[in-house]
Amino acid sequence: MENENLINDTFHRLNKIVEGLYKLSLNIKFLTNLKGCRIIGQCKKVAKNSYIIRLHTKLLEEFGQEYLDDVLTHELAHAVQMEIYPKSKPHSREWKNIVETLSQKKYSTKNKINYKLNEFSKNKKKFVYICKCMEHYVSSIIHKRISQKRYFYNCKKCKEVLIYKDINSAK
């Protein structure tokens, strides 16, 4: 698969720095199975020097190298960080230094790629509920639970039970 090569090439390029500079020999398994609209990459430690990095199926397809340069670098930096600064916080100064070293450029939250994550939302259709103070948007899963009367949801602010506002029938 083409994207698999892209992942391997990117990883090997970055891993040279990891091995050379940080003297780490990391064992990383890549999974491209993130599909939702909230997480664009994830790094999980499984054992010493062993990590699973999960990447987003559609973002990889759509943005390819650009996505990997951003997210694979970001996640790999977490792995390096957990090994050499195990007590540091994610996205701390230590982590930023690693990202900058790996990407060979200054870390900046500006010029972030707009991944338009909402388009990958599984439950694109949101259901509108109302209480006394506001509208609430719930996923189809929650909506199903409420309609089956398995759950009642209360507004955290006004404590009222949420009531379904059927926007389709109102029109």
Q: Which of 53, 131, 138, 162 binds Zn ion (CB under 5 A)?
A: 131
Mark the segment that binds Zn ion (CB under 5 A) among 16-24, 99-107, 118-126, 152-160.
152-160
Question: Which of 157, 163, 165, 167 touches Zn ion (CB under 5 A)?
Answer: 157
CA dihedral 88, 93, 98, 101 (to 10 degrees): -160
Asked if 141 is part of the footprint of Zn ion (rule: CB under 5 A), the reply reads: no
- State both tokens at 109: 């939250």
Strands 135-138 and 163-164: unpaired
Distances (CA, A) of 56 to 18, 99, 117, 141: 23, 19, 10, 22
State residue 39 phi and psi, 5-degree precision. Answer: -110, 125
Smallest separation, CB 132 to Zn ion (Å): 5
Q: Residue 158 or 163: which CB sits closer to Zn ion?
A: 158
Q: Should residue 133 be labelled a site residue for Zn ion when binding is judged by CB under 5 A?
A: yes
Binding-site ranges for Zn ion (CB under 5 A) = 131, 133, 155, 157-158
